[in-house]
């Protein structure tokens, strides 16, 4: 079956935000007394929501992050995004040449998704087709977000392709019954082993989509 919809994760697939966000998250957690390395942050929190990160910290350390933590982290994150964030190389050409309906489905908050897409010049390509985990009961690795995006876009799950760079995102796409393409731009390919295909360059995607993911 030809694909009717390609669902893109945002962080790490469209915008090169993961090194920034995981570095800063590790720094802020450590400064607050929750010793976390950048590698820990990538391993534990990449692809998940901020709320799920807070749940994990509470479980690991037995206490809550201090008041104002979220505001301080996000202020630092946004300032650093403004100074450093770039789109993933080649993504503009990919999107403009796909010829298939697209949307974004991200664990990020709606304002963050829009902010990073606007910063990198990608917002116009997804306006009105942006979905956040806050819209569903369960975030990734549950399938809820991808199924919600497909339903709103009018596409059957089996006719959807998902492009993800995190194990949580891959698991969510598989659970939704969609064909999952793992993007190993910064993620070790072995961590995306549940995907139907793992690619290291987004320029590989059009040929795979044209072949129906086979």
Check if the beta carbon of residue 8 is closer than 8 Å to that of residue 163: yes
What is the rounded end-to-end Cα distance, in angstroms, of the chain?
10
Helix (H) or strand (E) holding 162: strand 160-164
Measured distance CA(206)–CA(4) in Å, rounded:
13
Residue 9 among the catalytic residues: yes
Question: Of 9, 11, 16, 144, which residue is the catalytic one?
Answer: 9
Measured distance CA(58)–CA(77) in Å, rounded:
22
Three-state secondary structure of 28-49 = HHHHCCCCCCHHHHHHHHCCCC
* Ordered strands of the 160-164 beta sheet: 130-132, 101-106, 5-8, 160-164, 179-183, 197-199
Active site residues: 9
């Amino acid at each position: 079956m030809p694909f009717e919809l390609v669902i893109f994760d945002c962080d790490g697939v469209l915008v090169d935000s993961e090194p920034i966000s995981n570095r800063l998250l590790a720094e802020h957690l450590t400064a607050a007394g929750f010793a976390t390395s950048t590698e820990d942050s990538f391993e534990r929190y990449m692809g998940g929501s901020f709320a799920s990160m807070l749940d994990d910290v509470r479980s690991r350390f037995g206490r809550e992050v201090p008041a104002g933590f979220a505001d301080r982290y996000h202020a630092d994150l946004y300032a650093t995004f403004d100074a450093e964030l770039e789109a993933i190389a080649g993504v503009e050409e990919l999107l403009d040449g796909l010829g298939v309906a697209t949307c974004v489905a991200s664990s990020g908050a709606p304002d963050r998704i829009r902010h990073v897409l606007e910063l990198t010049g990608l917002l116009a390509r997804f306006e009105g087709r942006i979905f956040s985990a806050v819209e569903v009961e369960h975030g990734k690795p549950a399938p809820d977000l991808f199924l919600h995006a497909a339903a709103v876009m009018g596409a059957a799950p089996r006719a959807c392709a998902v492009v993800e760079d995190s194990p949580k995102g891959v698991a969510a796409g598989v659970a939704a019954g969609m064909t999952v393409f793992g993007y190993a731009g910064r993620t070790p390919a072995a961590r995306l082993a549940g995907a139907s295909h793992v690619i290291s360059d987004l320029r590989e995607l059009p040929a795979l989509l044209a072949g129906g993911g086979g």
